Amino acid sequence: MSLLLDMLSAACLLAGSFLCITGGIGLIRMPDFFARVHAAGVTETLATPLLLFGLMLQMDWSLDLLKVVMIMIFVLATNPTATHATAKAALHGGLKPLVSEDDPNDTGEPSSKP
Amino acid sequence: MNELPGLYNDWVAIFLMMAGFYVVISQGNLVKKLVGLALFQTSVFILYISLGKVAGGHAPIYDPAIAIYSNPLPHVLILTAIVVGVATTAVGLALVVRIHEAYGSVEEDDIQAADEAESTASSSEASAEEDAKQ
Amino acid sequence: MTLIDHLPVLAVIVPLLAAPLCVLIDRARPAWLIALAASWLSFGAAILLLLQVTQSGTISYHLGGWPPPWGIEYRIDLLSAYVLLIVTAIAAVVMVFAWHSVESEIPSERIARFYAALLLAFAGLAGITTTGDAFNVFVFLEISSLASYAIISMGRDRRALNAAFQYLMMGTIGATFILIGIGFLYMMTGTLNMQDLAALLPEVSDTRTVRAGFAFLTVGIGLKLALFPLHLWLPNAYAYAPSTVTAFLAATATKVAVYALLRVLLDVFGVEFSLQAMPLNLILMVLGLVGIVSASLVAVFQDDIKRMLAYSSVAQIGYMVLGIGLANTTGVTAAILHVFNHALMKGALFLALGAIAYRLGTATLRDFAGLGRRMPWTMAAIVIGGLSLIGVPPTAGFISKWYLVLGTLEQGLWPVTLLVLFGSLLALIYVWKLVEAAYFKPAPANAPAVAEAPLSMLIPVWLLVGANVYFGIHTDISVGVASQAATQLMGAGG
Amino acid sequence: MRDLFGVVILFSIYSFMTAALFMDLDAVDVAFTEAAVGAGVTTVLMLSCLRLTGRWERRPKHSPLLPLIVVATTGTALVYGTLDAPLLGDPNAPAHQHVAPRYIEQGPIEVGMPNMVTAVLASYRGYDTFGETVVIFTAGIAVLLLLGIQEGPHTRPGRTAIGDQIVLRVVVKLLIPLILLYGLYVQFHGDFGAGGGFQAGVIFATGFILYDLVFGEGDARLVVPPDWLPRLGALGVLIYGGVGLYSLFAGKPFLDYSALAHDPVHGQHLGVMLVEIGVGITVFSIILAIFYALAGRARRA
């Protein structure tokens, strides 16, 4: 049983870490603002709960477990909201998503500038 | 233990400190100077906190199961210092806002130039008046 | 414990708690009355403390009831009681002066908060002089500095803002250096109490860490002190601040920094380490001399009188540092004496200037033309203050210069003596410029009619002028205490 | 980097990293504070300032040589200083030998609370913390002297700051009660775990700042009128000072909490709780006042 828990927890942690790294790479490497928001927001909304879940599997039933659950709820509420708000604000501010793959200058607005 | 790995914490803190210090004295933008100052102070905090660490120690909250704690005194000092840091930053930002309103710029060069123009204007005015009298 | 036993802490917390009261009430006149009462109470406490210390020796007060080095200790010895007396005396006098001056220079809805900030600056300075804990010095230093930045920026000229920002930058760098220095010392000794540090440092004083800590503390205090190459913030800050603020800070802030330097160099590290093992005495001497000569030269060419006196302050700091650098008892006595006397003379001069600014609105050299006849009492005060600045007998300035010259001769450094005298000569030139303008130039035809300053300004000015003359003639108190304090300091380190 | 917005955000990230590092070095209270203050409050204040002064920076013209020399000298001096320093984590370092053991061994007994940092902060070195409270109060006075504070509205304004961010508004509305509740938890749990008056004050202020940012001008100000804030701050300092004065008049030294009750340990506990409340009130009101002052300017401009 504990071996199974350990393996599951390790898998969660590894997956979470992997997503964190890809999110970071995406944040730097993606061509325009909205793609970056996607990388940072969407990826890490999954990454953080995975990491937390991995940690929860290692814990006993205690107050600390409850705290981690609350952190998870908090992150799940704020992270997508922040991403959504940022993207919406950018759209309001006049940034247009990059659509054409061939020519980054196509959109007129240099949206890759933060 | 070898000396090198045992001191790297200090050196990292020193490197960060000097980065902040460099920003403070070399940059012309007042907001950036304040960021540099905050960076400088925060890095000093790292130096302090790392000197309070005891190998194998735990956070200094009493628990019957724990025997070794890290030193709580640096933590207390740095709590105070953090407050001092944010207080300084707030006052600095308020000053920057007022400077921007008064001078229309937050670049040190512009402000210096405006100040000098004002000083020479008042003194040349004075000498002109003296000339007129004679 | 009776109330008398609480004097050390009362001298500091009375102004410290009066400040929030001012904010809570938020009306101009009650705020002023509170500030006035607090500063005079604090002054009274300081007098009693000095008496107590001269009679029964050093007082130690354990805050929170925890014995040092675990708790914070207030430790009043002769030196701190002496400096505390000066700071509280100047604050008490300045508060009397402040009412009219502040009313004319600060927007009325901000006066109450202005007094709160002034009280905080004062309480911070008083806290530095009384505490016996190294980290507590940093905390109170920041209280006084933050309040000073705010009240300096209240000057009417927009350049006051820039000056305050420069001061904030320099001051914070200085404070952070001090923090680093304290950190290094704590790293090597494990204590923050100054007496404890003094006891533990000799064991580890050979280490590079202690030497670096020493260097950072000295440079940090040097920044606060406006020691010669680090003085750039001072002239602007003093020139553009409101008159009350200039008078208060010029007479106290740098003095407290000198106190901190004395405390750290001679008490915590001890004379042997600071002035003999490290080449600091030479450095201090050279910096002091360069400061005296260069700042005096710059002062000669200033048109704005506040600026002129600010540069003169830099030069006077040079004298004090020179006194410390001489590394003999006479030199240190001279430095301590000059702390006292310079507070009196600069306080008098800047207050008199404040009175003139109250009547005229500005204080440049050309405004002074013919003022000797129009504001006779104020100008007479400036002349006597100026004489004291030059060091003419029978003013207080003479006494401290005399001890300084004695100190240099004791060390056989006659070129230094000559330079000190040269500095006085330069002071003569810039003071003469004032006198010439005021008494020998006719008032310009279109000059506005001005009356003599109001009595509430003249009394504080003449109190300080009177003190200048009094301590020039009756030297028992000032010299007596200063030389005892110097002997204590020099003796502490061997 | 010419974009100051980026600079500020990077600083915020740096601050957060530092907090993580502090956590690793066992300084939980400090980590908490650094995250709340450095990454939170400082960033918000800096951004409010940028909104007024402009986002872009001009390329500096000065030669970087002199600053480099100064920095190199200072850095060398520092590295020189560390050469004889105790190594990281060395339990025999002088810093851990002299004063600290008493805090660790006696702290929980003499002051009666498990969190040694709170014990040292509020009792052994309570006077430093009093000074710290005064520092933040001073900063508040300074900012108000410089910027003034806008009077609050008397009726509820309709317009919001950020257009039609429905998702944001709903989530924030759900979160704010939790944030305030958490602030209270941190305030009163500081004796046992990480936290205390300072952190609680910051968290509480953050809740209000968030509300003000999302729901636009005025709403938050109806709840706490801006012109009350400096007085509230003063009140906090006076609570702290009052505890000190009480012990002083009871014949014990200033801030000796054992004067507060017959049982010294009980008195310590009561005293620490009272002064933490004072700290919390001051920090909350001053941080909020500083934010209002900066944001109020932005709206007028």
Q: Is A66 an interface residue toward D (CB < 8 Å)?
A: no
Nearest CA in chain B to D202: B83
Averaged confidence pLDDT in chain D: 85
pLDDT tens column, C136-153: 999 999 999 999 999 999
Contacts of C492 (CB under 8 A, 6+ apart): C198, C266, C267, C270, C271
d(CA D117, CA D192): 10
Chain B residues whose CB is inside 8 A of the D26 CB are 52-54, 57-60, 69-70
Name chain D contacts of C139, Cβ cutoff 8 Å: 128, 131-132, 135
Binned at pLDDT 50, 70 and 90, residue A93 comes out as confident
**Closest Cα to residue C248, out of C130, C369, C336, C123?**
C123
Per-residue pLDDT tens for D82-124?
A: 888 787 778 888 888 888 888 888 888 888 888 888 888 888 8
Q: The tokens 């910027």 sit on which residue?
A: D147
Q: Does A58 touch chain D (CB under 8 A)?
A: no
**C186 contacts in chain B (CB < 8 Å):** 51, 73-74
In tens, the pLDDT along C24-60 reads 988 889 999 999 999 999 999 999 999 999 888 888 9
Structural domains of chain B in order of their starting residue, each with its CATH number: 3-133 (1.10.287.3510)
The model's pLDDT over C66-100, given as tens digits with 9 standing for 90+, comes to 888 888 999 998 999 999 999 999 999 999 999 88
Interhelix angle C305-325/C329-360, nearest 10 degrees: 170
**Which pLDDT value is given to residue D172?**
86
Tokens, residue D144? 């108000």
Q: Is position A106 within any domain?
A: no
Which domain range does residue A30 map to? 2-93
- Contact call for B21 and D74, based on CB within 8 A: yes
Kindly write down the DSSP assignment for every residue of B42-83, as one continuous string.
Answer: HHHHHHHHHHT-BTT-B-SB--TT---B--HHHHHHHHHHHH
DSSP D151: P
Give C391-395 contacts, CB < 8 A, sequence gap 24+: C391/C424, C391/C427, C393/C472, C394/C469, C394/C472, C394/C473, C395/C345, C395/C468, C395/C469, C395/C472
Cβ distance A78 to D162 less than 8 Å, yes or no, reads no
What is the average pLDDT across D129-133? Answer: 93
Touching chains D and A? (3+ Cβ pairs < 8 A): yes
Query: What total number of domains does chain A contain?
Result: 1
What is the band of D141 on the pLDDT scale with cuts at 50, 70, 90?
Answer: very high
Whether C445 and chain D come into contact, CB under 8 Å, resolves to no
pLDDT for the residue B1: 42
Query: Which of C158, C179, C365 is nearest residue B81 as measured by Cβ atoms?
Result: C179
User: Scanning every residue of chain B, which has its alpha carbon at the shortest distance from the alpha carbon of D77?
Assistant: B14
Give the pLDDT of residue C139: 94
Contact by Cβ (8 Å): B41, C176: yes
CB contact under 8 A, C183 and B48: yes
Tell me the average pLDDT across C193-202: 88
The answer to whether position C49 is within a domain reads no
To the nearest whole Å, the CA of C412 is away from the closest chain B CA by: 41
The distance of D202 to chain B (nearest Cα, Å) reads: 11
Q: Is residue A109 part of a domain?
A: no
pLDDT higher than threshold 80 for residue B125: no
Does A57 reside within a domain?
yes
Chains that touch C (3 or more CB pairs under 8 A): B, D
Answer whether C232 touches B (CB < 8 Å). no
Can you give the pLDDT at residue B59?
84
**A to B contact (≥3 Cβ pairs closer than 8 Å):** no
Q: Note whether residue A89 is domain-resident.
A: yes
Mean pLDDT for C294-316 is 90
Helices and strands: H and E segment counts in chain C: 20, 2
Determine the residue of chain D that is closest to C139 in CA distance: D131
pLDDT higher than 70, residue C492: no
Give the pLDDT band of residue A110 (cuts 50, 70, 90): very low
The chain-wide mean pLDDT, for chain A, equals 81
CB B16, CB C148: distance < 8 Å: no
Per the domain annotation, does C492 fall within a domain?
yes
pLDDT of residue C92: 94
Give the closest residue to D30 by CA, choosing from A8, B77, C41, C374: B77
pTM over 0.90: yes
Say yes or no to pLDDT of C181 above 50.
yes
Would you call C116 an interface residue with chain D, using a CB distance cutoff of 8 Å? yes
In a domain, A64, yes or no: yes
Domain, as residue range, for C422: 292-494
Size of interface B-C (CB pairs under 8 A): 78
- Written as one letter, the residue type at D154 is H
- Beta carbons of C285 and C272 less than 8 angstroms apart: no
Would you call A85 and D168 a contact, using CB atoms and an 8 Å cutoff?
Answer: yes
pLDDT tens track for C350-391: 999 999 888 887 777 777 777 888 888 888 999 999 999 988
The closest alpha carbon to C372, from C438, C457, C318, C425, belongs to C438
* pLDDT score recorded for residue B128: 52
CB contact under 8 A, C207 and D254: no
Question: What stretch of H or E contains C133?
Answer: none
DSSP-derived letter for residue C61 is: E
Q: Are C209 and D78 in contact (CB < 8 Å)?
A: no
How many independent structural domains does chain C possess?
A: 1
Out of C24, C150, C187, name the one closest to residue D142 (CB): C150
Give the closest of B18, B74, B97 to D75, CB-based: B18
Long-range contacts of C7-10 (CB under 8 A, 24+ apart): C7/C45, C7/C48, C7/C49, C7/C52, C7/C59, C8/C49, C8/C59, C8/C61, C8/C74, C8/C76, C8/C130, C9/C61, C9/C63, C9/C74, C9/C130, C9/D248, C9/D253, C9/D254, C10/C41, C10/C42, C10/C45
Each residue of C321-341: pLDDT tens digit? Answer: 999 888 888 889 999 999 999
